Amino acid sequence: MDIGAKSVVGLWTSTYDMVFNIKCNGTESNTINGPVNCTDGSIRLYGGSSPMEGILHVCANGAWGTVCSRFWDSRDTTVACRQLGYDPKSYQVVVSTNEYPVIFSHFSCFGSEANLTQCSSGLTSTLVCSNRQVIKIACQEQCVDGDIRVSSSYYGHVEMCTGGQWGSLCTDYWDDKDASVVCRQLGYLPYGALAGDSTWYYNSQLINVFRGINCVGNESSLVNCPMNNSASCGSSSYYHASVICPVHGSTYSNCTDGELRLFGGSTKYQGTVEICRNNAWGTISSWTWSYNAAQTICNGLGYTTPGASFVRYAYYGEGVGPILMSYTYCSSITNSLLNCNIYNHYIIPYGSHSYDIGIQCQRKFL
């Protein structure tokens, strides 16, 4: 029998017994379905276009109820989908119909739990969820062992599947050779693939952290790479591996990391700068620059006369290959940019060749 209800307040016990205190109001219809003999703590997705999506229902005292959206996040979605035998995909806030009551105010999961019952939770009231905004989630099929994915198509945080679950890769031993294997496995060219900054992506919700992956660089997938499971991340135990694949395209070159060349200038002393990294030539984004970096480039090219200068916005022409460097800070003038601090790799995917840096070196007069 349907019950007209204005609010539902319950007491949650360790055995999932729910005692409802019902405040009735004949002018407002919030329908509660009677008990359907569901198992307390079980969950389901209701009203979606497939079994892997829908409004989240949690069973309490033999009846289904919804979850308020106020404190829900991606970690809770991860656990809910895991409980259903899927991988997480997304969640959204929707306005509930009056067919099922909003029972739970929140679930606070770390992301590693097997089911929602292992997360701390609370019951709702009209003060917490008066607008009936509840959670709708979408899951996806579990991964296949050895599969990999990155968080943003061709760049970002790297995860690998094992035992039907996604796990993170620790940054110990992580370098451009490992990035080459990831990009190859994802269908991109491996030349010019870059390992991201160790602190680029921090995500403590992931489980099964892989350690000690140390690829040669020519493997077809990460599972073929040597791995030292006893390797320690040390102080970087919460850092997770990331990559940038050369989405602009690249070709193999037998060049040496850090090697430089110029193109587009009217003399050999000027032009757009290209640097070799991981067997590919690519440009440098001019997000930030300095005289020390400019003179370091000229020194590396063999033009050591002081007075180097730089120009922004592809003054000498845009490159056509990958962008291989962005924020570069040289505290002093050296002979190689690789001696400078190269950081903030996450800027590279947001750049374009319209930001390519150009250099004017001083000619040495005899």
User: Which of 140, 161, 184 marks a domain boundary?
Assistant: 140
Is 254 domain-assigned?
A: no
Is 272 domain-assigned?
A: yes
Rounded to a whole number of angstroms, the CA Rg of the chain reads: 28
CATH number at residue 311: 3.10.250.10
Is 198 domain-assigned?
A: yes
Same domain, yes or no, for 94 and 211?
no
Answer for the pair 335, 298: CB distance below 8 angstroms, yes or no. no
Interatomic CA distance for residues 183 and 243, integer angstroms: 8
Same domain, yes or no, for 223 and 177?
yes
Same domain, yes or no, for 124 and 184?
no
Same domain, yes or no, for 13 and 136?
yes
Report how many domains make up the chain: 3
Same domain, yes or no, for 11 and 116?
yes
Is 249 domain-assigned?
A: no
Same domain, yes or no, for 87 and 128?
yes
Q: What is the pLDDT of residues 107-147, one digit of tens each?
A: 999 888 999 999 988 876 555 676 678 999 999 888 889 99
- In angstroms, the Cα distances linking 13 to 7, 189, 321 are 20, 56, 61
The domain of 282 spans: 260-360
Average pLDDT over residues 230-246: 72
Same domain, yes or no, for 25 and 88?
yes
User: Which of 215, 244, 273 marks a domain boundary?
Assistant: 244
> SS3 string of 319-357?
CCCCEEECCEECCCCCCCHHHCEECCHHHHHHCCHHHEC
Same domain, yes or no, for 110 and 43?
yes
Considering the entire predicted model, what is its pTM? 0.72
Q: What is the pLDDT of residues 253-307, one digit of tens each?
A: 999 999 999 999 999 999 999 999 999 999 998 766 789 999 999 999 999 999 9
CA dihedral 147, 153, 155, 157 (to 10 degrees): -50
Is 205 domain-assigned?
A: yes
Reduced to 3 states (helix: H, G, I; strand: E, B; else coil), residue 194 is strand
Q: What is the pLDDT of residues 136-176, one digit of tens each?
A: 999 988 888 999 998 888 888 898 988 877 888 888 888 99
Is 285 domain-assigned?
A: yes
User: Which of 244, 274, 305 marks a domain boundary?
Assistant: 244
Q: Pick from 314, 166, 342: which is nearest to 244 by CA?
A: 342
Same domain, yes or no, for 133 and 187?
no
Same domain, yes or no, for 102 and 213?
no
Is 366 domain-assigned?
A: no
- Bridge partners (DSSP) of residue 69 are none
> SS3 string of 28-97?
CCCCCCCCCCCCCCCEEEEECCCCCEEEEEEEECCEEEEEECCCCCHHHHHHHHHHCCCEEEEEEEEECC
Same domain, yes or no, for 75 and 133?
yes
Interatomic CA distance for residues 318 and 212, integer angstroms: 38
Same domain, yes or no, for 28 and 132?
yes
pLDDT-above-70 percentage for the chain: 80
What tokens does 328 get?
A: 């570069």
Is 233 domain-assigned?
A: yes
